[in-house]
């Protein structure tokens, strides 16, 4: 069984901006999005985008009531996290050895503090590049789009390092 990656909204949004949604699930992982995150208005994905992800193997995880309660307990302890952040944390905790894919610094810190591996979209690019799973030009386009988008908060130095590897 492949290792699980739990996706939060920030990474899915950035992957869409970078035009990498269609290659995400080519990575050798099992991809999961918690149902509340999928249903979130912030994603605003089209039915075609969800069909692409679903068809590529992304699963939607519906947290049972006890896990929803765990998420609210986390929210009480970490008030700056969103409810959806907490749903992502619980989903990652219940899937053994899961990786949380997030661009949120606080969520990443809380995940790591709780023994959950956490990475962001630059890690995805690195994995796609290392595994030769897509055209390097596509990765170059994504990195350039992210670097030039003021709503994407990624370190320019890391983007530039990846751009050098891609080229």
Q: Which residues of the chain have pLDDT under 70?
A: 1
Residue 1 confidence (pLDDT): 67
CA atoms of 163 and 29, how far apart (whole Å): 24
The tokens describing 60, both together, are 């939607």
Residue 108 confidence (pLDDT): 97
What is the reported pTM?
A: 0.94
CA atoms of 119 and 44, how far apart (whole Å): 23
């Amino acid at each position: 069984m492949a290792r699980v990656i739990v996706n939060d909204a920030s990474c899915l949004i950035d992957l869409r901006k970078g035009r990498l949604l269609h290659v995400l699930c080519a990575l050798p992982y099992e991809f999961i999005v918690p149902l509340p995150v999928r249903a979130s208005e912030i994603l605003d994905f089209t039915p075609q985008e969800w069909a692409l992800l679903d068809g590529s193997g992304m699963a939607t995880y519906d947290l049972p009531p006890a896990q929803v309660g765990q998420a609210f307990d986390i929210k009480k302890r970490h008030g700056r996290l969103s409810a959806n952040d907490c749903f992502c944390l619980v989903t990652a905790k219940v899937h053994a050895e899961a990786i949380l894919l997030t661009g949120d610094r606080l969520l990443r810190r809380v995940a790591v503090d709780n023994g959950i591996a956490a990475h962001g979209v630059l890690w995805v690019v690195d994995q796609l590049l290392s595994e030769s799973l897509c055209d390097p030009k596509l990765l170059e386009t994504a990195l350039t789009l992210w670097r030039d988008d003021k709503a994407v908060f990624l370190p320019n130095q890391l983007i530039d390092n990846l751009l050098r590897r891609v080229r």
